[in-house]
Structure 1
Amino acid sequence: MFKATTSTQDPMILQLVPIVTQACEILREEYQHYCAGDAFDVERKADHSPVTQADYRSNNYITQALATISDLPLLSEEADNMPRQAWQRFWLLDPLDGTKEFLHKRPEFTINLSLVDGSQTVFAVLAIPCEQQIYFCPEDGMPLKLETDTGQWFEYIADETEKNIQIGLSQSAQHKPEYAEYLQDLATLTNFGVLKAGSAYKFCMMLEDQVDIYPRFHPTCEWDTSAGQCFIERIGGGLVDFKGRPFVYNQRETLLNAGFIAFKNTKMKTLALQALELMQKRH
């Protein structure tokens, strides 16, 4: 959860606030045009996933704006592959995470931006354009949130209140049997509710104490998880593969991730991995 605080003095965050705020404005404007039925360009990538004029416009703006404040290289979902293996420190960007949500007229899409140093994410931004909220994970300290319409800053504080456990699932999870199987095994361990949402929006829900465990059995890419992992690790949770290992970044030929389990704290980690173990024993 978050409590109101004074404006941050973190220089990197202050440089990024106007950039990310404007990128959110761009995506809100594009979303309004799309929902109004205006002419709108949608293409298909080689993997058949959609990409829209909104993805490209956000990407172009953020790419150009970042170059004015940083000389670090940028790896973006919507840019050509780069010789990234030699990079030690770089920006990782998904300029519109949740394109399918966007196209289904669900406002659960985000901007994911992170700073990778070596194999670790050390700074992150998650923005929800339609809610006018931007989350920042500084290189040191707890996550912060900015309400861009009011200018109010908030700082993360742990909520120790006992409540019902909530499992976050992707909108497409209902069509994949492994999710039903996982939930069936988890139900032998604890009671829980289920919330469905798109994209990295679920990581924001974890920060807001709305989601405790987020299992993912279908593929993502590094720009989908880097920022979210940084946030939830900072608050005492984590994101691990099915062998319990935290994801690392820019260490493989492929940018494609295998499945993962994300959890808000150590108690949720125990439950989440116990359910996974039960599921794996049957296979």
Structure 2
Amino acid sequence: MFITTTAPQDPMILQLVPIVTQACEILREEYQRYCSGAEFDVERKKDNSPVTQADYRANTYITEALAQISTLPLLSEEGDKSKRDEWTKFWLLDPLDGTKEFLHQRPEFTINLSLVEGEKTTFAMLAIPCEHNIYICPIKGMPLKYNTQTQLWFEYAPTELGITLQVGLSQSARTKPEYADYLAALSRLSPYTNYYAGSAYKFCMMLEDQVDLYPRFHPTCEWDTSAGQCLIERIGGGLVDFKGRAFIYNQRDSLLNNGFIAYKNDAIKDLALKALAQMDDKP
């Protein structure tokens, strides 16, 4: 949960909030245009995933705005990736995480922006444009939330977990058999309820005490997980592969992630990995 607090004085946060706020406004405009049935450009990438004019517009704006305040390189889903092996500190961006949610007219898409130093994420901002909320993991301290409509600031405050485990799943998990297998194994260990939501939105649900565990069996990329991982690690949770190893960034030839378990505390991590080990068809 979050409790009201005063505005931070961190210069980096104060520089980035107006940029992300404007990027949210761009995506809301594009979303309203798309939902209205107006002409709207949608393309397919080499991997057949969709990319839209909204992705490109947000990416262009954030790229140009970041260049005005920072000399660090930017690794974006929609940008040049050819020199990333030379970078030890850089911005990592997904200007529209949840393009499929956007195209299905589900307002669960996000903007994911993080700062990677070495192999770890040290700072993150994760925004939900349609909810007017920006979640921030500062260099030090608990996560913050800023509402761009009310201009109020909030700070994360831990709460006791409920008796029933809350599991967050991607919308596409409904049709993938490995999720049914995993949930069957989990049900033998703990009562649970599950919720379906898109993109990095589920990390925000973890911060809002709506999700305790987020298992993922189908691929993501590094810009999908970096910001969310930073936020949930700061509250005592984490994001690990199926062998229990925390994700690291920009250390491999591929930017594609394999499956993961995101969890709110170590007890949930242990439970989640135990369920994984009890699956009929282990990943």
Length-normalised TM-score, structure 2: 0.98
The SS at the match of 1:239 is strand
Matches within 5 A, 1:135-214: 135-214=135-214
Q: Does 1:87 align with 2:87?
A: yes
Q: What is the RMSD computed on CA atoms of the aligned residues? A: 1.0
The SS at the match of 1:115 is strand
1:182 CA drift (Å): 0.2
The answer to which of 75-84 and 99-108 deviates more is 75-84
Q: Distance in 1 between matches of 2:281 and 2:92?
A: 36
Question: What is aligned with 1:114?
Answer: 114
Q: Does 1:133 align with 2:133?
A: yes
Q: Distance in 2 between matches of 1:117 and 1:52?
A: 30
1:282 CA drift (Å): 5.8
Q: Distance in 2 between matches of 1:269 and 1:86?
A: 34
Matches within 5 A, 1:1-283: 1-279=1-279
Preserved CA contact (<8 Å) 1:89 1:118: yes
Q: Distance in 1 between matches of 2:162 and 2:194?
A: 17
Q: Give me the identity figure in percent.
A: 71
Preserved CA contact (<8 Å) 1:75 1:82: no
1:164 CA drift (Å): 2.4
The SS at the match of 2:185 is helix
Give the direction of change, closer, same or farther, for the CA distance of 1:30–1:59 in structure 2 (3 Å limit).
same
Give the direction of change, closer, same or farther, for the CA distance of 1:246–1:280 in structure 2 (3 Å limit).
farther
Where in structure 1 are there 5+ consecutive unaligned residues?
none
Q: Which amino acid aligns with 2:234?
A: R
The SS at the match of 1:279 is coil
Give the direction of change, closer, same or farther, for the CA distance of 1:79–1:161 in structure 2 (3 Å limit).
closer
Where in structure 2 are there 5+ consecutive unaligned residues?
none
1:271 CA drift (Å): 1.0
The answer to which of 196-205 and 73-82 deviates more is 73-82
The answer to which of 177-186 and 152-161 deviates more is 152-161
Give the direction of change, closer, same or farther, for the CA distance of 1:161–1:264 in structure 2 (3 Å limit).
closer
The SS at the match of 1:146 is strand
Q: Which amino acid aligns with 1:198?
A: G
Question: How many residue pairs are counted as aligned between the two chains?
Answer: 283
- Deviation digits for residues 94-130 of structure 1 (CA, Å, limit 9, x no counterpart): 0000000000000000000000000000000000000
Preserved CA contact (<8 Å) 1:133 1:145: yes
Preserved CA contact (<8 Å) 2:164 2:190: no
Q: Which amino acid aligns with 2:94?
A: D
1:83 CA drift (Å): 1.0
Q: Distance in 2 between matches of 1:60 and 1:8?
A: 27
The answer to which of 203-212 and 78-87 deviates more is 78-87
1:267 CA drift (Å): 1.6
Q: Which amino acid aligns with 1:118?
A: G
1:162 CA drift (Å): 2.9
Q: Which amino acid aligns with 2:222?
A: E
Q: Distance in 2 between matches of 1:89 and 1:80?
A: 16
Length-normalised TM-score, structure 1: 0.98
User: Which stretches of structure 1, 4 residues or longer, exceed 4 Å deviation after superposition?
Assistant: 280-283
- Deviation digits for residues 126-158 of structure 1 (CA, Å, limit 9, x no counterpart): 000000000110010000000100000000010
Give the direction of change, closer, same or farther, for the CA distance of 1:264–1:140 in structure 2 (3 Å limit).
same
The SS at the match of 1:93 is strand
Q: Distance in 2 between matches of 1:266 and 1:28?
A: 37
Preserved CA contact (<8 Å) 2:276 2:282: no
Q: Distance in 1 between matches of 2:23 and 2:268?
A: 34
Give the direction of change, closer, same or farther, for the CA distance of 1:124–1:19 in structure 2 (3 Å limit).
same
